[in-house]
Structures are given as structure tokens and as C-alpha cells.
Chains A and B, each alone.
Chain A
């Protein structure tokens, strides 16, 4: 599908409490950065859900020129089917050169499907976006679990990309900015085919991994669920929280909500302490942006030592208790 009249960037956003979500605001900044190379072209966004008009005003302050809004119950708009339909409707109205969305729980389903509906395929999990000299979207993204860094050129119009949350910083809002709101009429409820029956969530105990300044993570090397209590204790001492590798989750030692990595949570603490974790690229994909990584691993050749700023090559059963005793003393 090529369209020579296509222009501008369309962001498929998400609404949270009547405002664009944090990940959406990041993408608006990413869109503006691309538009610096496309003078005269517009940034548009589609916002579907509850209080879409409120969210639109915030989006304009964040730099959007045209916001397409679709008012709908939050429950309806939480269906990927609804957001795919909303994105498609906005793409028809905007005929964008580029479509962007955040790779969130919703976005990871919505964006590939939207790309296929637009006759193309998605540039997945992008950490950086740019335009080449032919104004084609080129993205940076990890492949093979992060073992390889790829540059991918998008050949179609529109080009569609899913951007990893936290890859871009949101810009400061300017409530004086002007923009246009275009309400779209679309019955989102009628687009839902995979229907939500029930949402079962467990409140997170303590600090969320995404917000923690200190994270203590355990892997297969811990050998069972019991040692995670020790990690809890350490995390408590440091006002942090506990994470895990997928191996620990798959073994059933800890709940999946604790998984850090490519298919788990992306975390950006000041200090990430990895205990009995080998440092597979899929794990590092989720914690590689921590400011300081500390590793305790009995294998001096473990990959984690290629990522860690500080490390002890030793048995955690000996290292950790002494480490904690000493910390107790130092923090007293």
C-alpha cells in the first residue's frame, strides 16, 4: 500500500484517567522528533475511551496538531478489537506517513493488527526512530532476545512502529498550544469480538517493580522458592523490591508478575542486584538500563559479568548473608 499524499505522524494513544497515558506522552515526543525532519507536516493522535475530550486537550498541550477522539466506556476501549478499529478509522482520516503506538499490554496486540489491516507489517519493539535520506522510517530494535541490535527500514506507506515504553522522554506540556479536535463517530462496542468476561488482578504488595529505585532479583541459581525470602529481607533493608528471572518464574518459585525481561517487566532502577542469574540477553533486555548493576554468581564466566558494574564471583549462600550483615552494620 503506497499513498503519495500521505503526510505526518499518527500516534495511536491510550487514555488513563482522562489523560493520555505516560507511554502515549512519550510517543507524542517521539512523533515530534520525527516531524523535525518533515517540515510542514502534522502530528495527529487518536484517543478512544472515557473522557476522550479531556485527554485530547492534554494531547494538544503535549504537541499534537489534530486529535481524533472517540468517546466510549473505559471497559469497551480496553478491548484490543476496539482500539484496532479506532486506529484504522483515524488512519483513514489522517492518511499518515507514519503510525506509532506504545508497546504496552494493549499496544502489543493492537499495533501488529493495525499494521496488517493497513496492508503492511509492524516494526516491533523499537528503541529509537529516525528517517533515512529517502524519508523512510528506520528503527533501532533488539532481535534474538537482545543478542543483536538491528536497524530496520520500513518500506511501506504508511509505516507502522511499536515503540518500547521509556525509550523516549515526554516533553513538557504547553497549555497555550493550539490544535484541532476531530470527534469520530464509531460504535466501538460493535467492533468487539473477543469479549472481556472478567478481570482478575492481584494488588501488588509493596513497591511496583517499575517504580523501584532498588531491585533485588533472583534466578535459577537460588535453587528454590525459599531463598527468595532472603531477597525480600535484603530488599526491605534497601527500601527496594524483589524481581526474578523467567527461569525462577517457570519453576513456579515466584509469580509471573515478578519477571523482569523481554517478556516480563522493563525496569530502570538506580541499583539492580542480580543473584544467581546468568544474564541471558532476554533478561538483560528488561534491566539493562539500570544505572548500576551488581551481580552475585558462582560462575566467573557468567554473561551477567559482562553487564555488571560490580560483581562477586561466589556462592550466594555464602556471599549474601555476609553482604547483608555488613549492610546492616553500615546502614545502622
Chain B
């Protein structure tokens, strides 16, 4: 059987939304995004899709299935990985799959979905999602399935029954090998994800997502591990001293004098 890769991809609110778009509702426990902040595929998950596509580029009979869990989806958003070149999309869609800070139910559902998909050789996912920055769902999936894992990588290759990945270090990388099936998480150091081309976009329009509910997966909610007790905008106490001048160059000179005067430089 040709290699089957599953990419875990989460729909999140655009991480480029300015800090001013964020607020907290009256309960003090819910984060609200004001204005028209669009949904996107989590950035690191797009890097994971790119990693999967590069593995497929090396042998085109390899298959890629994208799996996403949530309560509601913007189809044009979650279809982007398909437009980039993945074959299939599975949505774990259920009112029960609330996006909370507690990853346990998501982990359980994703692991069950991978099981239900049958032969899966490699699971790729972004190193973390830009909403909770929890960086644990793929690791939890690996632990649930009992598969080895390589976390935060910048290159992923498959040969035979082995995955070889470059794990990012602060001053370089480690080459790590694990037997398949395995879970590998991907970081932005891998390089930019490709843009969907016209053919990909047209093909993605024809792909109908498979939708599975919690009941389809036979999963129930585990006892909660974490609860968001309060959310708040961080306090800023900084008074900015804006240095002005006759022109930009003058302002630059005055900045140097000011910082010197304050004994900072």
C-alpha cells in the first residue's frame, strides 16, 4: 500500500489580527475578537501540509488526508490544504468539539479518527496552534496511539518504513529517525507553504469532506483537565516618549542624545 499521510489542521482566527481586536466578554472567561477577523488554517499546520506535499512530490502515489476537528467550519478555509494538493478532507464536526483550552477531547477524537481511517503511516501537524498556543494535541495523539513522535521539525523525509526529520534546535538541528507509523510536528523553519494553483482550487471544489460526529467516532468527553478561570488583556504600563525632530534624521540624532542622557547606551 502506498504511504498514507494524515495532516492535522485546525481552523483558527487570523493570528495577524492586531492586539486591539481582542477583548474579553462580561463573564471574564471568553475571548472575543472584534471586527471582521477572518478564519485561517493555523499557520504551522500549513507548514505541515507543505511537509506532506514535499513527501508526496518524491513519490506521487502517496496519499494525503487532512483531518480537522471543531464545531463549525468555513469550508473555503478548511479546503485550502486540498487546494494545495491533499486528496481528502475529514471534518470531525460536532457541537461537543468546543474549542477550549483543554485538549483532551480533541486528542481523543483525532486519535479515534486516525484509527477509523485504517492504514495511516504518518501523522503530520503544526508545532502549535495560534489560539491557545498549547502545543500538545499532536503529542497527545501520538501518546494515545502509542506511536513515536518527533516534535518541532524543519524537514521531514520518508524512506521505507522510517521517517527521518530535522528537529529544530536554538543553534542548529538534530537529525532524528523513527519507525512508522509516527507523528511529526512541523515548524515554520521548513519554509513557506505553497500557494494553491488554479488546478488545485478547481479540484478542491469537487472534493466533498467526510464528516464524522463524536458518535461516529465512538468517543465521549473525558474528565476535564484544564479550565480557563479568567482571561484579561495584558496590562501595559509603558509611557512612550516619542522623539520628534525637524526631519527623520534629526529625530534619529535626538534619539541618540536622549538615550545617552538617560545613561541607557
Q: Which residues of A contact B (CB under 8 A)?
A: 80-81, 105, 108-109, 112-113, 115-117, 120-125, 138, 142-156, 193-204, 214, 238, 246, 249-250, 256-257, 262-263, 265, 270-271, 280-282, 292-296, 300, 303, 305-315, 318-327, 330-331
Contact = CB atoms under 8 A, between A and B. Distances in A.
Contacts of A125: 133
A255 B101 CA distance: 32
Given A125-B133, A200-B174, A310-B258, A143 B225 contact: no
A238 B265 CA distance: 7
Contacts of A115: 136, 225
B65 interface: no
Q: Classify chain B's interface size.
A: 35 or more
Interface in B112-126: none
A280 B174 CA distance: 29
A53 to B, nearest CB: 27
B213 interface: no
Contacts of B229: 138, 151-153
Given A214-B265, A307-B238, A312 B255 contact: yes
Contacts of B136: 112, 115-116, 121-122, 124
B226 A152 contact: yes
Contacts of A151: 228-232
Interface of B: 15-20, 22, 24, 31, 101-104, 107, 127-128, 130-136, 139-140, 142-144, 148-152, 154, 164, 168-179, 182, 187-189, 192, 223-234, 236, 238-243, 245, 247-253, 255-260, 264-265
Contact of A310 (B15, B168, B243): B243
Ranked 4 nearest A-B pairs via Cβ: A201-B172, A318-B248, A314-B248, A322-B252
Given A113-B142, A122-B136, A310-B240, A155 B224 contact: yes
Nearest to A327: B256
Contacts of A250: 188, 192
B156 to A, nearest CB: 12
Contacts of B19: 147, 280-281, 303, 306
Contacts, number: 264
Contacts of A249: 188-189
B254 to A, nearest CB: 8
B22 A148 contact: yes
Contacts of B177: 194-195, 197
Contacts of B144: 116
A109 B169 contact: no
B140 A319 contact: no
A311 B242 contact: yes
Contact of A143 (B133, B150, B243, B265): B133
Contacts of A108: 135, 151-152
B240 A308 contact: yes
Contacts of A308: 238, 240
A271 B265 contact: yes
Contacts of A330: 256-257, 260, 265
Given A124-B135, A309-B238, A326-B252, A155 B231 contact: no
Contacts of B168: 256
A148 B231 contact: yes
Contacts of A307: 236, 238
B92 to A, nearest CB: 18
Contacts of A263: 127-128, 187-188
A276 to B, nearest CB: 13
A311 B241 contact: yes
Contact of B252 (A122, A195, A262, A314): A314
Nearest to B162: A195
B150 to A, nearest CB: 5
A159 B41 CA distance: 31
A143 B264 contact: no
14 contacts: A143-B101, A144-B131, A148-B22, A150-B228, A196-B175, A199-B175, A250-B188, A262-B133, A296-B252, A306-B19, A309-B239, A312-B255, A323-B256, A326-B257
Given A202-B172, A256-B168, A313 B249 contact: no
Residue of A145, A204, A325 contacting most chain B CB atoms (<10 Å): A145
Contact of A197 (B24, B164, B256): B164
B21 to A, nearest CB: 8
A149 B174 contact: no
A125 B154 CA distance: 22
Contacts of B187: 263
Given A305-B242, A306-B236, A306-B240, A318 B247 contact: yes
A307 B224 CA distance: 36
B50 to A, nearest CB: 12
A116 B178 contact: no
Contacts of B238: 293, 306-309
Contact of B172 (A142, A200, A282): A200
B151 A109 contact: yes
Contact of B151 (A80, A147, A148, A193): A80
A116 to B, nearest CB: 4
Nearest to B12: A144
A143 B107 CA distance: 19
Residue of A246, A320, A327 contacting most chain B CB atoms (<10 Å): A327
